[in-house]
Chain A
Amino acid sequence: MTALLSFDDVTFGYGPGARPVLERLSLDIESGTATAILGPNGVGKSTLLHLALGWLRAQSGLVLLDGRPLRAYPRRLLGQSMALVPQVERTPFDYSVLDYVLLARAPYLASLAMPGAEDERIAREAIDEVGLGPQCHRAITTLSGGERQNVLLARALAQQPRLLLMDEPTSHLDLAHKVGLLHLLRDRIARGMTVLLTTHEPEVAAAIATHVVLMRGGQVCGSGPIAEVFTADNLSATYGVPVQIAQIDGRQVVLWT
């Protein structure tokens, strides 16, 4: 069975002659899994997401979706297959939440068409799912950071992707928003959505991921089911600081000294 997304011997650097950010990286993301990418700052986690999206192109090696190279797909089809929740997104314009989430329908529309009633229904459903239903007509510029992150998630859900890519989804969230987001994701994952996310918080991986990828120095230094890879030794080696993993109520908590 071919993986949903795979990196085959991918090397990528920003600009010719620059030191590669990712070097000869290979990785398979199976359908129905939730994979968390962990690793120190600057290791190429976000770059990996942008390569998965097809926005960045590898200097050598291939990124494949369903076994076909990404560049063989029309953009629109990629947009129907994958959605990105960026870490932050700034806009000076006060789009309403609904108008903003409706942009997710672009990959399904002819190039000059505008969203119709069915698109609006899908967008509203996604907005309800992230709990912003009552704020549907509010300007996004008036929302809090946590609410804006939820708008980005709603947009990604309204895109109805097979693979959801998330870049540090919890980095700007307070505890309540973080818990809300993780519950929502866990629910979606349980219903079969494939998720690939980067995070700086090992606990986030422990809470929702089925698989973990550890990155160091532009390469994968460990990957597999969370039970096998998420160990104190591996995390210590990845981050270069000694850590321990404690079990509290069946939950894994990373301790540092």
Chain B
Amino acid sequence: MAFRPSWSWGATPANRKLAVIAVLLGAVVAMSLLIGRYPSPGIIAPDRLATDDLAQRIVFNLRLPRILTALMLGMSLSAAGAVFQQIFANPLVDPGFLGVSQGAAFGASLAIVFWGSSAWLVQGSAAIFAFSGLGLSYVMARRMRFGGSVLRLILAGIAISALFSAGVGALKYMADPLSQLPEITFWLLGGLASITWPQFWSIAPVVSISVFVVYRMRWRLNILSLDDSTAFSLGAAPGRERAVLLGAGVAATAAVVSVCGMVGWLGLIVPHIARRLFGADARHAVPAALLIGGLFGVLCDDVARTLLAGEIPIGILTSLIGALFFLAIFMTYGHSGEQR
């Protein structure tokens, strides 16, 4: 994947590190296309790909859309996580916390229980409720009479998430334990098994635009992480700029969650890893989060679809691999040579 940093500092060490990760990501995507369980578990030899019709169809109609979606999944959650953490000046927030994840979970469960399990219905319902979750959080935050704007949004997000998760609990209780409940459970654990080109194209435009907005506005994130009055004194429009960036982050998150289900931890952990490796300045931390997130998404999905004969829910893997990587990073690297 070609990756051309647009800032004017040329070949700084950070840019070189980014280039290395970008090359690595490209190699992983290419390798992933060849790895799978056809014709036997392992790698398809390139010469076989040239002659075997079925192999071609598997690689280009099944693996390619799935891998690209996994790439978007990792990039979106990580970019949104980086945006949310910096805007709320809180390293513990995650892109789903404004009611988005629980809203999507509720929407998907609702569709599974009441409207059968058409993939499009589940996706549409998840997307609609993801945005409803955000909308409700936002409206509630405006009506609260407590704290500053950021604190109000966080509190409203927590409350709305709790409401939707109560709804998910109720739906699980009502679901048919033999057919619907397993389906809800799998959705809540996340997975890309059902992704084909139509699903990929249904979210690609939203995700591309959102990620582009976040990437272009990344330096502003540093300013928006300061107090509102300070951001204002630096010529920023804190309210408006925050809304644009949050909107982009949430749109990307809602889009990928609607087709992939709940994928935990990526959006929380990857921005931390990016900041650890590149420093807190979003000029480098955001592109780093995008690349590392993409790498995580593709690798986790590779393991999910190839390790066992059956599909492993990707949410389990992102939590497991993410948490281990997280611990490893914090135990080995310090920032800018400083040990705290």
Interface SS majority for chain A: mixed
The answer on a CB contact under 8 Å between A84 and B279 is no
Q: Closest B-chain residue to A86, C-beta based?
A: B230
B233 contacts A89, CB within 8 Å? no
- With a cutoff of 8 Å between Cβ atoms, the chain B residues found around residue A172 in the complex are none
Q: Taking the complex as formed, is B275 at the interface, i.e. its CB lies under 8 A from any CB of chain A?
A: yes
Known: A95-B281, A114-B7. A141 touches B340 (CB 8 A): yes
Distance between Cα atoms of A141 and B334 in the complex (Å) = 13
List residues of chain A with CB within 8 A of the CB of B323. Answer: none
Contacting residue for A103 out of B91, B222, B228, CB 8 A: B222
| Cβ 8 A contact of B217, one of A79, A112, A138, A142 | A112
- The docked-state distance in angstroms from the alpha carbon of A104 to that of B220 is 12
Identify the interface centre among A53, A103, A138, A141: most chain B CB within 10 Å of its CB.
A103
Bound CA span A96–B283, Å = 12
Known A-B contacts A89-B230, A103-B223, A142-B340; the reply to A96 vs B281 at CB < 8 A is yes
Q: Tell me the minimal C-beta distance from B333 to chain A in angstroms.
A: 12
Q: Tell me which residues from 40 to 60 in chain A have a Cβ below 8 Å from any Cβ of chain B.
A: 50, 53-55
Asked if B78 is an interface residue, CB under 8 A from chain A, the answer is no
Contact with A along B221-242 (1 / 0, CB 8 A): 0110111111011111100000
Would A55 and B280 count as touching, CB distance under 8 A?
no
Contact B335 A53 (CB under 8 A): no
Mask of A73-107 contacts with B, CB within 8 angstroms, 1/0: 00110111011101001111111100110011011
A79 and B233 form a contact (CB under 8 A): yes
Distance in Å from the Cβ of A70 to the closest Cβ of chain B?
A: 11
Instruction: Answer yes or no: B52 CB below 8 A from chain A CBs.
Output: no
| A117 and B235 within 8 A (CB) | no
Contact of B68 with A by CB under 8 A: no
- The answer, among B236, B283, B335, B340, for a CB contact under 8 Å with A114, is B283
Residues in B with CB closer than 8 Å to A53 are 229, 232-233
**A80 & B338 in contact (Cβ 8 Å cutoff):** no
Say yes or no: A95 contacts B338, CB within 8 Å. Answer: no
Inter-chain contacts of B217 with A (CB < 8 A): 112
The complex places the Cα of A141 from the Cα of B335 at a distance, in Å, of 11
Measured between alpha carbons, how far is A28 from B232 in the docked complex, in Å?
23
A-side interface size class: 35 or more
- Whether the Cβ atoms of A54 and B227 lie closer than 8 Å is no
- Report yes or no: A86 in contact with B279, Cβ–Cβ below 8 A: no
Note all chain A residues with C-beta closer than 8 A to B86: 93
Q: B118 contacts the other chain (Cβ, under 8 Å)? A: no
Taking a contact as CB atoms under 8 Å apart, the answer to whether A80 and B279 are in contact is no
Distance of A76 Cα from B232 Cα, bound (Å): 9
In angstroms, how far is the closest chain A Cβ from the Cβ of B288? 14
| Nearest Cβ on chain B to A50's Cβ, whole angstroms | 6
Q: Does A116 sit within 8 A of B, measured CB to CB?
A: yes
Q: Give residues 274-289 of B contacting A (CB, 8 Å).
A: 275, 279-281, 283
B89 lies within 8 A of A55 (CB): no
Most chain B beta-carbon contacts within 10 A, residue among A76, A99, A116, A142: A99
A44 to chain B minimum Cβ distance, whole angstroms, is 15
Residues of B contacting A170 in the complex (Cβ-Cβ under 8 angstroms)? none
Distance in angstroms between the alpha carbons of A71 and B21 in the assembled complex: 46
Is B232 within 8 A of A139, CB to CB? no
The residues of B with any CB-CB pair to A shorter than 8 Å are 7-9, 86, 89-91, 216-217, 219-220, 222-223, 225-230, 232-237, 275, 279-281, 283, 335-336, 338, 340
Enumerate 16 A-B pairs (CB-CB under 8 Å) in ascending A order. A53-B229, A55-B228, A76-B235, A82-B233, A84-B229, A91-B225, A92-B91, A93-B89, A93-B275, A99-B222, A99-B279, A104-B234, A107-B235, A114-B8, A114-B283, A165-B233
In addition to A55-B233, A89-B230, A112-B220, 5 A-B residue pairs with Cβ atoms within 8 Å of each other are A54-B232, A99-B279, A99-B280, A137-B336, A138-B338
